[in-house]
Amino acid sequence: MAGPIQAGAEALVMDAKDHVATAIKDLKPGDRITYLAANDVHSLTIMEAIPFGHKVAIVPIPAGTHVCKYGEVIGRATGDIAKGCHVHVHNVEGIRGRGDQAQAAGGTGV
């Protein structure tokens, strides 16, 4: 579990392996935000609007890369996602529980 919220932070990172932070307020392009990751305070500039509760990329995420939140894979990037950009269903596809993905990997799809 993540540690305490850093005073003044605008986003939360749940695990040191995460590619994203969760916005704890509405963020707009040009905002300079801070967040705590691996016990260090980091900052980045927001590139596009990110609503409260949505994810922001804290590292560049190339197309096809597994996206991590909570230290776990939550999906795969469908296109390149720049640091500071909104990460959501428009640029990440879910891969958990997808029979078509299991079949492509040689599984049964069940």
Alpha-carbon 11 to chain mean position: 11
Q: What is the pLDDT of residue 109?
A: 45
Q: What is the pLDDT of residue 101?
A: 60
Closest-CA residue to 64 (of 38, 36, 95, 41): 95
Residue 3 has pLDDT above 70, yes or no: no
Whether 65 and 79 have beta carbons less than 8 Å apart is answered as no
Report residue 99's pLDDT band, with 50, 70 and 90 as the boundaries. low
Question: In Å, how far are 40, 50, 73, 79 from 105, measured between CA atoms?
Answer: 38, 34, 16, 21
pLDDT digits (tens, 9 = 90+) for 14-43: 999 999 999 999 999 999 999 988 888 899
Neighbours of 23 (CB within 10 A): 23
